[in-house]
Amino acid sequence: MQDKKTDFGFKNVSVSDKTDLVKRVFNNVASRYDLMNDLMSGGLHRLWKKQFISRIPRNPTTNLLDVAGGTGDITLAYMENTRDLKTKATVYDINEAMLEEGRIKAFDKNNFKNITWECGPAEKLPFKDNTFDAYTISFGLRNVTEKEAALAEAFRVLKPGGTFLCLEFSQVGNSTLDKLYNFYSMKVIPLMGKVVANDGDSYKYLVESIRRFPDQETLKGMIETAGFKNVVYENLNKGIVAIHQGWKA
């Protein structure tokens, strides 16, 4: 039987190969990942994440699952703002090198209480049904090999009434801005990656993955298909990124 194909940037690769290819990308960029985020976005990613984090429920007993949590930006900021002994968070990522960077950052910030770090794929979460109050995935869904399976897993592990939140690069509505953004992302960012992170190819993939990612309405439909209700999205910076949110009834 022929292996199913999926996207890896502008290339089509087998589903069985994509996971390893993505792991390789993030192994290569882990040590410079946070620095490159600041440089590529001019610091805007911090504002996007701040707005995203403000939507996560802030109850004393919230149990958060941060999938594709990488170096822990979302979890660490959220836990810093709660500082409640009953609030728990799990950072879950397929790449151990990214998680290790996150653990180091958490230790440096003295912000590691009630945070666990687990490695594995988004499509097969090692958690029981109805476990978490909130599920977040920030700039990670486009790297997931089987996005529909990951969304189904998000629905499964959330408690009834739980919140799903996705922050991801999206499609710019303004044609002039889109052309400028396309030039910057396709030409400047890989060069920046080559100079700063000594890895232009990985950043070439990352920007290509943005162009292949579903637009806002398509992603909204995918989230609804997974079972979520009242799905909404908000464009930030004219749609360069978008926050999608839904609830498990």
Find the range with the poorest average confidence among 87-101, 159-173, 200-214, 233-247. Answer: 200-214
Question: Which residues of the chain form beta strands (DSSP E)?
Answer: 5-8, 11-14, 63-67, 88-93, 115-119, 132-138, 158-169, 229-236, 241-247
Mean pLDDT to the nearest integer, 138-157: 96
The domains found in the chain, sorted by start residue, are 5-12+28-170+215-247 (3.40.50.150)
> pLDDT tens across 172-212, in order?
988 888 888 888 888 888 888 888 878 888 888 888 888 88
Mean pLDDT of the chain: 90
Confidence band, pLDDT 50/70/90 cuts, at residue 83: low
Q: For the chain, give the percent of residues with pLDDT over 70.
A: 98
Residue 116 three-state SS: strand
What local confidence, expressed as pLDDT, does residue 84 receive?
62
CB atoms within 10 A of CB 235: 15
Which pLDDT belongs to residue 50? 95
pLDDT category of residue 39 using cuts at 50, 70 and 90: confident
Task: Give the tokens for residue 58.
Answer: 């802030």
Lowest mean pLDDT among 109-118, 157-166, 194-203: 194-203
pLDDT of residue 159: 98
More confident site: 54 or 13: 54
Selection from 42-46, 55-59, 190-194, 243-247 with the highest mean pLDDT: 243-247
Which pLDDT value is given to residue 151?
A: 98
Q: What is the mean pLDDT of residues 16-41?
A: 83
Burial level of 192, CB count in 10 A (0-12/13-18/19+)?
middle
Model confidence at 2: pLDDT above 70: no
The model's pTM: 0.89
Assess contact for 63 and 132: CB atoms under 8 A: yes
Instruction: Provide the pLDDT for residue 40.
Output: 86
Q: What is the pLDDT of residue 1?
A: 42
Average pLDDT of span 102-129: 93
pLDDT at 3: 63
- Least reliable range by pLDDT among 1-5, 86-90, 109-113: 1-5
